[in-house]
Structure 1
Amino acid sequence: MNATGNDKRDLVRAIYEQHWLHTRHVENQRLWFTNIFVILCGGSLIVMRGGLFDEVNWPIVGFLMVLSLIGLFFCLRIQSVFNAHNSAAKLILTRYGLEHYLAKCPKAVAGKFFRLSLLFPTFFLLFFCFFLFVLLQIGFHNVWKSALVPVLLFIAGTVVLCLSKYDKPVPLNED
């Protein structure tokens, strides 16, 4: 079956549109997960501050630590999906000579020192560290004292490995 010029153009337009729709969907997923995370953290901290569970605060804090790590790895994974769809959409525009439609933002001075794509993972990593601090402050440090340094080194190594893997544009085959 031989496609006409209009059929090809409609197909390319539909593919491009799907990539941008998926890109927006990925951003919405990340924002909703972060919203739910903040609501859970706020509610849990209010319950802990109110003294409702004075004797058993550590399971709540432990749950929030685990949720922080899940959020961190979720954001790293979702960034790779975002990069894949963004790269595919850019490739379509480039292949058909429509580069002038690409959004070009001027480089900021802060961009040399900080990448915006690391904002969400940094947010979840900071919350993990905060909840670890809270866990140590509520008297759970006897168990954690011996394992704290290896656990933190493992987490830091895992984060660095994931950042190097997931925070890169996805190379696409142009054939």
Structure 2
Amino acid sequence: MSLPFSILTFLLLLFLSSSAAAARKSDAPTDDIVRSSCVHASYPNVCVRTLSSYAGSACKTPRDLARAAVNVSLSRTRRVSSYLAHISAGDSKRQREALSDCTEQISDSVDSLSMTLGELQHLQGGETFEWHMSNAQTWVSAALTNDDTCLDGFEGIDGKVKSDVKRKVTNLGRVTSNALYMIKRLDESRGKHL
């Protein structure tokens, strides 16, 4: 009686392990596109971590990855914008001004990244490719500049507000830099494999 139970247990384990291997194998191509695309990004670990959740049937091409990267940046920019709108800058006039300027800069970044998504939506090979690509790169670059400008306003100011803002905006800059990298990869391929 123990022999059939052992065989049954063995067969069950064999079935489960082959099912798990098949599931891993089916995810491999999308993981591969994310990993291979992120390898030369400015922040490769951040790139893989943030884009892995987009891997799957909706993320098969370089354009899909570029859109996903911009979506990540836009989502984080909106969160930082909301955070900035709800924190208190304290009593320092200089800190209040820096926070107000930073809030405006990050709000402008939301607009720039939203326009970038629109350009990527219309991106096709052919005559208009360079026009849309140039617009997308310009707007993501503007968002990166806004991040830097936001942080510049806190120069010479100390305290928790500055350190919190700096941490959040620095992380935001990393995902936005990776988004710009993904868009530039599209430009290098000149629209092939969109």
Bin the TM-score by the shorter chain.
Answer: 0.3 to 0.5
Please, what TM-score do these two structures have when normalized by structure 1?
A: 0.38
Which structure has more relative contact order (CA 8 Å, sep 6+)? It is 1
Please, what TM-score do these two structures have when normalized by structure 2?
A: 0.35
